Amino acid sequence: MRILLFTGKGGVGKSTLAAATACASAAAGHRTLVLSTDAAHSLADALDAPATSEPSEVTQDLWIQHVDAQDRLERSWADIQRYLRGVLDVAGVDPVAAEELTVIPGAEEVLALLEVRAQARSGEWDVLVVDCAPTAETLRLLALPEALGWYMTRVLPVQRRVVKALKPVLTRAAGVPMPEDSVFDAVERLHADLDDVRAVLTGPTTSVRLVLTPESVVLAEARRAYTFLTLFGYAVDMAIVNRVFPADGADAWRRTWVTAQERHLEDAADSFAGLELRTSIYRATEPVGREELLDLAATVYDGIDPIAPGASVPPMSVSTTSAGLVLSLPLPLAAQDDVGLVRKGDDLIVSIGSYRRLLTLPSGLARHRVAGARVRDGQLQVRFTEPDAQSELSEEAL
C-alpha cells in the first residue's frame, strides 16, 4: 500500500499531477484510488470523470473519490453536536442558530483526513493518491492530528474527572447539562482515529510531493512547506516544477521567460538538493483526460517509477555521542534564527514561524536536561545531559 500526497500553492497543478500520477499507476496495473480533499472539483475536471463521495471507477484499476466531509461530519460528530445543542438550548439560543454554532470550525478538513485513513486501511487499494488543498491549509491540517492528540491525552482525562466530580452539583445548580460519557467517548474515539491518521500519513509507505511553478513566490512557499512538513514528520520525496516553458523555438518574449525560469529552476535544484526534482512542460492546452494525463506522467516520471518512494530526509533520531545524548530533528532549509525551542516538562516545543510541534520526549530523554541546541546543515540538534540535583528546571527557553 503506497500513499502519495500532492500539495503546493494554489493553481500550480496539484490536481493535474495527482490525476496524471494516478493514471500512470493504474496503467502499471496497480489498483489505484485518487482522492480529493479539496472543496473545488478540479480533480474530476482533470480526469474528465464524475466524482462522488464514494469511490467510482474511471477505467481499469483507476477509481476516483471526492470526499464529502459534510456527510461524515454528520455521522462522526453526532454525539458531540447533540450535547452542544443541549447546552445552547438551555442557554436560550434559538435552535437554528444553535445548529450553526455547533458546526466545529476545521472539522470538515479533519474528516477528509479520516476518509483518507479509512481508504488506506480498507485493503482495497495498492496505491492511494491524494490531491490536497493548497499548502497553508494542508499544513494546518497535517499538523492537527498530533496537536489534538497532545491536547486530548493531557487535558481530556482531567476534564473527565472534573466533570464526574462536579456533575451532580452543576446539573442541579445551573440547569446546564453536563457532558454525558458518550460525549467523552466520542471525543476519545476521534482521538484514536486521529492518532491512526497520523500513523498512516507519517508511515514508511507515505510520501508527500511538492508541486510548484518556476516563480520566486511559489518557490518560497514550496521551500517553507518542505521545512514544515519535515518538522511534522512527513516524508517529502519529490518536488515537481510544473509549467516550464520549452526553450526551443522561442521568440523574444518567451526567451525572457525561459531565462527567468531557468534561474528559478536552479534555485529549486539548490533548495531541494537530495530530493528527486522533476519538471513538467507548460503545454499548449490544458492536460485533461486519461490520454493527455498519461502523456504528461510519462514526461514527468521519465525513467523512474511514478509511485516508487524517492529519497527523503531521515526521521528524528537519538544518538549517543561523547558530549551526551543528541536528539536530531531534520529541518531542511531552516536557519538557526528561524527556530524556537522550549522545554516544558516531558515535551519539547519546536517552533518555526507560526508552526509549533509539541514533541513528547522519548522516555530515555525525559529525565535529562537540555544542555544546548543548534541548527546545523538543516538539522536541529538538541544535546541532553544526565539529570543532576541543581538543574530541576521545568522550563528552559533556548
Contact yes or no for 331/227 (Cβ under 8 A): yes
**Shortest distance, position 159 Cβ to Mg ion, whole Å:** 39
What is the Cα–Cα distance from 200 to 2, expressed in whole angstroms?
A: 10
**Residue 55, contacted partner among Mg ion, ligand ATP, none, CB below 5-8 A by kind:** none
**10: contact with Mg ion by CB under 5 A:** no
Crossing angle of the two packed helices 107-121 and 181-201, in degrees rounded to 10: 60
Options 167, 283, 356, 383; binder of ligand ATP; rule CB under 6 A: 283
Q: Which of 4, 5, 12, 222 binds ligand ATP (CB under 6 A)?
A: 12
Please report how close the Cβ of residue 376 comes to ligand ATP at its closest, in angstroms.
34
Interface with ligand ATP (CB under 6 A), residue from 87, 282, 378, 383: 282
In angstroms, give the least distance from the CB of 105 to ligand ATP.
21
Looking at 55, 134, 179, 330, which residue binds ligand ATP (CB under 6 A)? 134
Cα 202 from Cα 106, distance rounded (Å): 21
Nearer Cβ to ligand ATP, position 41 or 161?
A: 41
Candidate segments 3-11, 110-118, 150-158, 159-167, binder of ligand ATP by CB under 6 A: 3-11
Question: At 8, is the secondary structure helix, strand, or coil?
Answer: strand
Interacting stretch for ligand ATP, rule CB under 6 A, among 280-288, 331-339, 366-374, 386-394? 280-288
Counting residues that bind ligand ATP (by CB under 6 A) gives: 20
11 near ligand ATP (CB under 6 A): yes
C-alpha 132/C-alpha 134 separation (Å) is 7
User: Strands 369-376 and 379-385, how do they pair?
Assistant: antiparallel
Among 38, 115, 276, 292, binds ligand ATP (CB under 6 A): 38
Q: Which partner, ligand ATP, Mg ion, none, binds residue 233 by CB below 5 to 8 Å per kind? A: none
Which parts of 151-190 interact with ligand ATP (CB under 6 A)?
none
Query: What residues have CB less than 8 Å from 52, skipping those under 6 apart?
Result: 65, 66, 68
- Determine if 10 is a binding residue for ligand ATP (CB under 6 A): yes
Choosing among ligand ATP, Mg ion, none, which partner's interface includes residue 261 (Cβ < 5 to 8 Å by kind)? none
- 324, 384 contact by CB (below 8 A): yes
DSSP for 332-368?
Answer: TT--GGGEEEEEETTEEEEEETTEEEEEEPPHHHHTS
User: Which residues within the stretch 20-79 sit at the binding site for Mg ion (CB under 5 A)?
Assistant: 42
Give whichever of 192 and 281 is closer to ligand ATP, judged by the CB atom: 281
CA pair distance 33, 124, nearest whole angstrom: 9
Cα 394 to Cα 343: distance, rounded to the nearest angstrom: 7
- Choosing among Mg ion, ligand ATP, none, which partner's interface includes residue 353 (Cβ < 5 to 8 Å by kind)? none
Q: What's the closest the beta carbon of residue 145 comes to Mg ion, in angstroms?
A: 22
Half-sphere exposure of 328 (CA within 13 A, CB side): 15
Q: Could you say which of ligand ATP, Mg ion, none residue 280 binds, taking C-beta under 5 to 8 angstroms by partner kind?
A: ligand ATP
Q: Give the x-and-dash track for 40-59 against ligand ATP (CB under 6 A).
A: x-x---x-------------
- Single out the residue of 15, 32, 135, 206 in contact with ligand ATP (rule: CB under 6 A): 15
Cα(231)–Cα(233) distance, integer angstroms:
5
Cα angle 15, 16, 22 (rounded to 5 degrees) comes to 85
Question: What is the rounded radius of gyration, in angstroms, for the C-alpha atoms of the chain?
Answer: 24
**Pair 220, 12: CB distance under 8 Å:** no
At 81, list the grid cell: 453536536
Q: How far is the CB of 282 from ligand ATP (least distance, A)?
A: 5
Cβ proximity to Mg ion: between 81 and 242 the closer is: 242
DSSP letters for 81-124:
HHHHHHHHHHTT--HHHHHHHTS-TTHHHHHHHHHHHHHHHTS-
102 binds Mg ion (CB under 5 A): no
Q: Is 138 in the site for Mg ion (CB under 5 A)?
A: no
13 lies in the binding site for ligand ATP (CB under 6 A): yes
Residues forming contacts to Mg ion in the complex (CB under 5 A) are 14-15, 42
Residues forming contacts to ligand ATP in the complex (CB under 6 A) are 8, 10-16, 38, 40, 42, 46, 134, 242-243, 280, 282-283, 286-287
